[in-house]
Amino acid sequence: MLRAGIMGGTFDPIHNGHLLAAETALDVFGLDEIWFVPAATPPLKSGAPDASDRMRLDMVRLAAEGHPNFRVLDIELERGGVSYSVDTVAALQERCPDTLLSYIIGGDRIGDLAQWHRVAELAERLEYFIGFSRPGYPADLSALPSPLRDKVKTADMPQMEISSTAVRLRRAEGRSIRFLVPDSVYEYIMRNDIYGS
Ligand code: ATP
Ligand code: MG
């Protein structure tokens, strides 16, 4: 059975913190592939993304390009509406019955996991959630109810103090975002003049 880790997010834009979390999941859990899934409308997040769906998808594709184990799926953008992970996982399991799926989340998402739409069903469908701490958000499972807690495996990764919000803010202030995002994504942002003031 192929084992894949889903890396869902708004990716507005994708940055090196996302990529290192994905790489660490491959490395630590021996996954075969990472599937990046940009959300259409993320649940539990206020406000629409700054960049268009097209641009967010383009940037994720650029970032994943050339990595032998990274794939990019536009399933949530194609479906449109609010992107519930449980719907995505159910659809992917229908499409790829021989793949065992895990779902990768940062510490901030571990905190709100119990509020995710139909989270019990989602947990049931997964091998496990893979949780990484990020600066300001330790991979703390103590607040999770126990059946859910048992489904989360945590691992250490080199901490990267990068968020898409910080990348957008730096751009808006005219500051450099080089080395926070892959070079190809940096070039794309500059060429298309996104996130500027
Ligand atoms: P925003 O500031 O817009 O919320 P973000 O940097 O949190 O952007 P998302 O697209 O919201 O990026 O996150 C997608 C997934 O990646 C989430 O599970 C999030 O916790 C995780 N993640 C984001 N940044 C990091 C990081 N620096 N280290 C580890 N995980 C991260
Ligand atoms: Mg976020």
pLDDT tens-digit series, residues 14-49: 999 999 999 999 999 999 999 999 999 999 888 889
Residue 115 has pLDDT above 80, yes or no: yes
163 Cβ below 6 A of ligand 1: yes
Which ligand is the nearest neighbour of the Cα of 180? 1
51 Cβ below 6 A of ligand 1: no
145 prior amide bond cis, ω within 30: no
116 Cβ below 6 A of ligand 1: no
The protein residue with its alpha carbon nearest to ligand 1, atom 22, reads 106
Q: What is the mean pLDDT of residues 172-197?
A: 96
* Residues 118-144 pLDDT 10s: 999 999 999 999 999 999 999 999 999
Cβ within 8 Å of residue 175, ≥6 positions away: none
Determine the pLDDT at residue 83.
Answer: 97
56 Cβ below 6 A of ligand 1: no
Taking a C-beta distance cutoff of 8 angstroms, is the pair 137, 107 a contact? yes
Assign 2 to helix, strand or coil: strand
Pocket test of ligand 1: the residue of 41, 116, 163 to mutate, having most ligand atoms within 8 Å of its CB, is 163
Determine the pLDDT at residue 45.
Answer: 85
In 70-181, at which residue ranges do the beta strands (DSSP E only) sit? 70-72, 99-106, 129-132, 152-155
Determine the pLDDT at residue 176.
Answer: 97
Global pTM exceeds 0.95: yes
How far is ligand 2, taken at its centre, from the CA of residue 1, in Å?
31
**ipTM entry:** 0.99
Determine the pLDDT at residue 46.
Answer: 84
For residue 193, count other CB atoms closer than 10 A to its CB.
Answer: 8
Atom of ligand 1 nearest to the CA of 104: 18
Assign 8 to helix, strand or coil: strand
Pocket test of ligand 1: the residue of 7, 18, 171 to mutate, having most ligand atoms within 8 Å of its CB, is 18
pLDDT band for 60, please (50, 70, 90 cuts): very high
Arithmetic mean of pLDDT over the chain: 97
Percent of the chain topping pLDDT 90: 96
* Residues 79-102 pLDDT 10s: 999 999 999 999 999 999 999 999
Atom of ligand 1 nearest to the CA of 105: 18
18 Cβ below 6 A of ligand 1: yes
167 Cβ below 6 A of ligand 1: no
All structural domains of the chain: 2-161 (3.40.50.620)
H/E element, 35: strand 33-38
Taking a C-beta distance cutoff of 8 angstroms, is the pair 33, 5 a contact? yes
Residue 174 has pLDDT above 80, yes or no: yes
